[in-house]
Structure 1
Amino acid sequence: MTKNNLLADLKYKVFRSGNPVFFYIGINTIVFVAVALFGVTYFLAGNTNIRFLDYAREYFAFPAALPKIPIRFYTVLTYQFLHEDIFHILFNMLWLFWMGNIFIDFLKPRQFHFVYLSGGVMGALFFALAFNVFPPFIPSAYAATVIGSSASVMAIAVAVTTLLPDYSISLMFIGTVKLRYVVLVYLLIDLIGIGYSNPGGSFAHLGGAFMGFIYIKLLQNGKDWSGIFKKKSKLKVVRNDAPKGGSKNAASKVNQKEVDMILDKISKSGYDKLSKEEKETLFKASKS
């Protein structure tokens, strides 16, 4: 594959494929590379007393200090795309790739966008709340900031786990493990991490996890918050193709009932136990 073809393929996957997993991995990577390159230029220009990332963090990281939030209101989004170093972004993007692809197999792209972004927002709120409420963090609240997509990624992971708790994944050196146990371990690490070196990040992760859990629970009860991202059609098409003896709404309910039964089956016995027809039904439902 030539360099031009590779770039064209990457551009298509990130911006035109419609797959939100590739979109967010692409945006996070582009921002990271851009900040890193600016950092090199900043350093070579003689600014050796402060990193460019630390300079950028002042304007684009989410602050814990309440007086700063109205001025830096936009940081509730920008902080989600800044990362500390290569290992920070690498881990987050790998986790996003694994969990995101499972999410998109069962739910819609607009639902992914909502959970990802709202998970980041909730993570920021948890972070700010913790640093202004808990006594150990109050003295450092004015200077504290948070960056990274971890809260957004955790929202996706917990949303998937809440929807499919018995979904199994294969882990190197461990084997097949149910998704709920993997995510539970990460949540436990975040709880323990509150008392160590990165309490701000841990609180943000827990906020994202909370958002992912609440979203799926509401979705299972018929409330889809991602509807705010739904495009309203400018054309209204009326069709008279309702089945005999019933309405189109009745037909939709039958289809939804079938999907719910399939999801229940996954929760009890796993995705691998579905028949080919059930997998096809679930795939069509996720794209409708």
Structure 2
Amino acid sequence: MLNKIILINLFFFLLAIFSNFTENIDLRSIFGVSSESIKFIKSPWTIFTYMFLHEKLVHFALNMFFLFVSSKIFLKYLNNKELLNNYIMGGLFGAIFFILPNINFDLDNISLIGSSASILSILTTSVIFTPNYSFKIFEESNFSIKIKYIAVIIIFYSIFIPIISKNYGGLLAHFGGIFYGLIFVFLHKKNISKKSNANELKKKYEDDYDYNTRKKIEEIKLNKILEKISSSGYKSLTKKEKDTLKKISNS
């Protein structure tokens, strides 16, 4: 999923480069979110497309680097579906935070592009789940740094630079991405808590014999699946076996 997201960003970036050689194509007005509510209503698709569009090489390269690093850490503990959820919803919240102030205030007509809000959502989620996760800057060195310190630098940069450049729309979008990251973590932990309570309730109404029998059957199934993975790899499992493995792992 990460590779697909990066490829879509790359496609839009190459499209932006191509548009530089033409006079009649303004990609920012086609795919960027406008601060004017009337223009936005006429182009509702921009709330999705803006988060994939970059016009400058530095903007594109930095965002893809931060996306790659934060997503790799994210995927160590969460799955591809949740990564896509964070990217899209973080981007949507970024757009909402960008658009809403313009309903009440007559701000200059500007447009929002870039994946920063989406990346900040993924980064926020990753940091809260794994604040002490460390990685080496260089493989051969012994120096490592915790992700929470990297996150502080990136978030500070994401807030400080828009203020310096007076890009207040971008600043609001960044806050939107961070905000959704916090929402995602809250909902995810709440969901885990519900599953845990459901399992405890299930155990409560099972007598010892039924519980032990069920666990024994699950153990036999699990051992067979693990043997198959060991000999033929995870890809050799059928859909039913994958579902069984996931169900037993979550029980």
Contact 1:194 1:203 survives alignment (8 Å) = no
Residue 217 of structure 1, CA deviation: 1.8
TM-score (norm 1): 0.63
Stretches (4+) displaced over 6 A: none
Q: In structure 2, what is the Cα distance between the partners aligned to 1:221 and 1:105?
A: 20
Question: In terms of mean alpha carbon deviation, does 99-108 or 30-39 score higher?
Answer: 30-39
Question: In terms of mean alpha carbon deviation, does 86-95 or 170-179 score higher?
Answer: 170-179
Contact 1:155 1:209 survives alignment (8 Å) = yes
Q: Deviations over 1:102-150 (max 9, x none)?
A: 11121111111111100000001111234455x6xx431xx11100111
1:29–1:132 CA distance, 2 compared to 1 (3 A): same
Q: In structure 2, what is the Cα distance between the partners aligned to 1:88 and 1:114?
A: 23
1:187–1:102 CA distance, 2 compared to 1 (3 A): same
TM-score (norm 2): 0.71
Instruction: Show the counterpart of 1:186.
Output: 154
Residue 171 of structure 1, CA deviation: 3.6
Instruction: Show the counterpart of 1:119.
Output: 90
> Which has more radius of gyration?
2
Q: In structure 2, what is the Cα distance between the partners aligned to 1:117 and 1:33?
A: 21
1:195–1:34 CA distance, 2 compared to 1 (3 A): closer
Instruction: Show the counterpart of 1:86.
Output: 57
Residue 68 of structure 1, CA deviation: 2.2
Q: In structure 1, what is the Cα distance between the partners aligned to 2:126 and 2:89?
A: 15
1:103 to 74, 89, 102: 74
- The number of aligned residues is 203
Structural RMSD (CA): 3.0
Contact 1:61 1:82 survives alignment (8 Å) = yes
Q: Unmatched 5+ residue regions in structure 2?
A: 194-207, 216-244
Q: In structure 1, what is the Cα distance between the partners aligned to 2:94 and 2:76?
A: 25
User: Is 1:31 aligned to 2:2, yes or no?
Assistant: no
1:246 to 211, 235, 249: 211
Structure 1 or 2: more helix by fraction: 2
Give SS of 2:132's match. Answer: coil
Equivalent runs, 1:30-69 vs 2, <5 Å: 30-40=11-21, 42=22, 47=23, 52=25, 55-69=26-40
Q: Which residue identity is paired with 2:64?
A: M
Instruction: Show the counterpart of 1:210.
Output: 179
